[in-house]
Every structure is written in structure tokens, then in C-alpha cells.
Amino acid sequence: MVGFGQSQAELICIGHIVGVQGPVVEIACERLPPLRQALLTRFDHEAYLFEVHQHLDEHHLRAVTLHGTSGLTRGMPVYDTGAPLHVPVSADCLGRVLNVFGEPQDGGPPLAGGAFRNVHQPPPALRDVRGVSELLPTGIKVIDLLCPFFRGGKTGLFGGAGVGKTVLIMEFMHAIEAVHQGVSVFAGVGERIREGHELWHDMREAGVLPHALLVFGEMDESPGVRFRVALTALTYAEYLRDTQHREVLLLVDNIYRMVQAGSEVSSLLGRMPATVGYQPTLGTEIAEVEDRIASTAAGAVTSVQAVYVPADDLTDPAVSAILGHLDTTVILSRRQAGQGLYPAVDPLRSFSKLADRHSVGDRHYRVAEAVREHIARYRKLEDIIAMLGLQELAAEDRQIVHRARRLERYLTQPFFVTAQHSGLAGASVTLDDCLADCEAILGGRHDDWPEERFYMRGTLADAAS
């Protein structure tokens, strides 16, 4: 076990197991260790690690296993490790695949260096936090224009299967490395083994892996692992920010699975469910992760979190709790994907709370609103066009439809990470170029261009060539 390699003789026996209920173990103790303390027992030369979650009385506690419970029996001795869960940190962590304990999952050697970091770090002090006000360009036109990222901010990525979520996440990683010389930390919370394996191969082939760290808590693992793996990834992101002074992009897929794991644990601990059956500690558990994502004088941690929406209900208590912490909301639309408009970002439902005139400037705000107005008007006229035809519209409406369709196609973009599959060279577009091109389209300077000329291009200068 990484970081808990003492021999059994060196560890302090504090009690024994008196009951096992799923991933929750009840332990009788002579003295109670503090909450979140890491305990362990051994069976058949295997170490089982627990985390203290609840004190029942003066001599009994409940702990959640961070391994499977097969082989655990009543009466097994339990030892105090003397510390909470902690992971090894090292400058050579990039390019690696780790688990919740910081152990390598890619066949490589363990992380060297001998330094460890507690996964339960407090958030930065208020006096040390830098405000979220600086734009973080990604080079992706539709994101930078309509739902821009902010340095040290939090973005929610809402999308189902097949709409390009993983590709967009990989392109974010590429942009952070190429545009900002930063690094990425990916937290796979409850990922399927197949998905994690494919992501690792795709990132390696796209050349993104050397500047990224992958931390996985797989779907078949204990809910305790799925509950804590996001904290492990965040711990590595904080290490890269504070020690390496890097620009860090933290990607969490899927943070809703952390909520589900917490709900499983809460029920087995005997807590009374709250709204819609969620755990009563829901808000605290989400805030424990979100409040640590911040910029300091040493660097910034900017987060992109994939969020599953149960029954497409944004008023779900878990989704609402997560939304309350987000600065930017990106909705991936199956309608856009069905039309081949990639990235499939819905231009009308995606937004950023900070994208006001003060933060992004008058020009950016004005162009973004004009683009949304044209596309919204086009969506309202689609049924009329389908029934009566485009020629039945008034001349002004026909002009809006023509320009809106050109804007939709202009906001598509070939990605660097898909270049070897699509045959299209990736493109990164600066915000100034994007604004100038949108102003040209809105002003009618390219009304004579065919629509296909705008599709999957970088700037309009690329389309003209």
C-alpha cells in the first residue's frame, strides 16, 4: 500500500472488526481515531484500507472500505496508520495513470521522491485566493465566443453519449498545453474500464499524454474509492499548482458519480435520506471539492466537470448543488451532433455567469449577443420553413436565416486531437479573429459565399484560401 508500508509490528492495533455491511465495516476500538483517519487490516498478505466516517459511541466506529470486502471477517485486528489517506507526489507524475492511492496503473514504476500529500487539504485561505476575472482562451471558437472559460473558474460540461464530450475534453487538454504551456489532471470517477482504456490510448496517440495525469476510480470499485478519487486528482492538481507553479486544467468525468457514491455510503452509515433520497451531507461534500478549485499567487487550477443530469432535470438537487458552484455551463446538444456541427455546443443554452460587459468587454459582449439573436430567430422560423419553404419568409427574415446558418457552420472547427482520424488539420482561432469574422458575417460581407465554405474551418481567411 502506497504510503502505508509499515510492517504489522510497527502499526498500532486499536481494535477489531465486529461487523461488515457491504463496503461499511463496524470496528470496536479501545480508543477512537479521528474522522477521516486511515485504518488497515491484513488478510492473506493483502492490505485492506478503511477510512473512518462515523463514531457510534465511545468504543465503536463505522469506516468505509477502499477495497473489496471479500475475505474480511469478524475478529480481524485493525491497525491505525497514524494519518489520513495520502498519496505520493513527484515531479515525474505527468504522463502517468494512477489510482486513488497514487499507485501506478500503467505498468510503470511507482512515483519516486518520497514526498506525500494529504488528500483532505483545506481550501486556500481567502487572503491567498485570486479572483476569477481573467479570460482563459482555448482557441475553440464557440467556447471563447459564447461561453468563455475564466482562469481559476469552474465549468460544467453537460452531455450524453455520442455528442463529442470526450473529444472536447481532450481538445481542452491540448489547448492548455499548447496555448498556455499548462498541464492537465483527469479524474475518472466511476469510469468504465473500457472507457478509461480508450481514453488513455486516444490521448497517447494525440500526443496529449506527456502533459497530463490520469487518476481513475473505476465503476467496479468500492463506493469509497469513487467517493474519494476526485479528491486524489485535486490533490495532484494542487501539487502541480503550488510546487511546480503550473497552469492546471482539472477535468472530472463524471462528478455526478461522486454524488452517487456518497449516497451509497450515507445509506449504509444509517443516515436519514434528504430531498429525493440524496444524502443530507450533499452540499458539504460537493463544496469540499469545489472550494479547493482556485487560483493563488503560485498558479491556477481551472476545472471542467462533466455532469450527468438525471431525466434531463436541471432542478435535481444534486445538479442544482453543482450548478451553484459553476461559472460556465456548456450544453452539448444531440441536435447539433446529428447535423454534424462539431463541437456540438448548443449556442443558446450554453452561457457563462461572468460573460458581462465588464469582464469580456463591450465588443465581445455585443458580438456574442448578436450571434445568439440570429440563431434564436432562425430556430423560431424552422417550423415555418419546413412547412412553407424559405421563400415564403419576409426578406429580412430570409437574410437572418442565411446569416444564422453561416454562423452555425463557422462555429464548427477541426480539432488537433482528431486530425489523424478526420484527415482535417486542427485549427486554433484567437478571440480577436473570431470576433472579426463574426462581425463580417453579421454585417453581410460574406452573404455571397456558399454555406459549405464556412464548415470545419479556422478563420475566414482559411476559408477564402
pLDDT digits (tens, 9 = 90+) for 40-75: 998 877 888 999 999 999 999 999 999 888 888 899
pLDDT over 80 at 202, yes or no: no
pTM over 0.85: yes
pLDDT score for 130: 85
pLDDT digits (tens, 9 = 90+) for 259-308: 999 999 998 898 888 888 899 999 999 999 999 998 888 888 999 998 88
- Can you tell me which residue has the cell 499548482? 241
- What local confidence, expressed as pLDDT, does residue 2 receive? 47
pLDDT at 175: 83
**3: pLDDT strictly greater than 70:** no
Q: Verify cis geometry, omega within 30 degrees of 0, for the bond prior to 99.
A: no
Q: Does position 178 have pLDDT exceeding 70, yes or no?
A: yes
Q: Which residue has the higher pLDDT, 66 or 420?
A: 66
Query: How far apart, in whole angstroms, are the C-alpha atoms of residue 66 and residue 423?
Result: 44
Question: In the predicted model, what is the mean pLDDT of residues 196-218?
Answer: 85
Give yes or no for a contact between 380 and 137, defined as CB atoms under 8 angstroms apart. Answer: no
Min mean pLDDT across 36-45, 122-131, 193-202, 322-331 is at 193-202
Residue corresponding to grid cell 504551456: 181
pLDDT higher at 311 or 25: 25
Q: Angle at CA 45, nearest 5°, toward 39 and 48?
A: 25
For residue 172, name the pLDDT band (cuts at 50, 70, 90). confident
| Residues 263 and 286: beta-carbon distance below 8 Å | no
Lowest mean pLDDT among 153-157, 222-226, 418-422: 418-422
Question: Percent of the chain at pLDDT above 90?
Answer: 55
3-state secondary structure (DSSP) of residue 295: strand
Least confident of 106-110, 227-231, 418-422: 418-422
- In the predicted model, is pLDDT for residue 6 greater than 60? no
What pLDDT was estimated at residue 7? 47
Which parts of 292-338 are beta strand (E)?
300-306, 328-331
Q: What is the CA radius of gyration of the chain?
A: 25
Q: Kindly state the average pLDDT of the residues 202-221.
A: 86
Instruction: Report, in this order, helix, strand and coil percent for the chain, each rounded to 5.
Output: 40, 25, 40
Q: In this model, does residue 4 exceed pLDDT 90?
A: no
Question: What pLDDT, on the 0 to 100 scale, is given for residue 299?
Answer: 86
Q: Mean pLDDT across the stretch 219-224?
A: 89
Q: Can you read off the three cell numbers belonging to residue 187?
A: 479524474
pLDDT of residue 389: 86
pLDDT at 145: 96
Hey, is 272 helix, strand or coil? Answer: coil
pLDDT for residue 10: 67
Q: Which residues are catalytic?
A: 165, 191-192
Is the pLDDT score of 169 beyond 50? yes
* pLDDT recorded at residue 132: 78
Higher pLDDT, 165 or 256: 256
Average model confidence (pLDDT) across the chain: 89
* Over residues 239-262, mean pLDDT: 90
Which pLDDT score, from 0 to 100, does residue 280 have?
A: 93
With contact defined as beta carbons under 8 Å apart, do 337 and 163 qualify? yes
465 vs 111: which has the higher pLDDT: 111
Residue 442: in which H helix or E strand, if any? helix 431-442
Mean pLDDT of 83-109: 91
pLDDT range class, residue 198, cuts 50, 70, 90: confident
Give the per-residue pLDDT at 315: 86
Beta-carbon contacts of residue 266 (< 8 Å; ≥ 6 apart): 273, 279, 280, 281
Contact, 215 vs 100, CB < 8 A?
Answer: yes
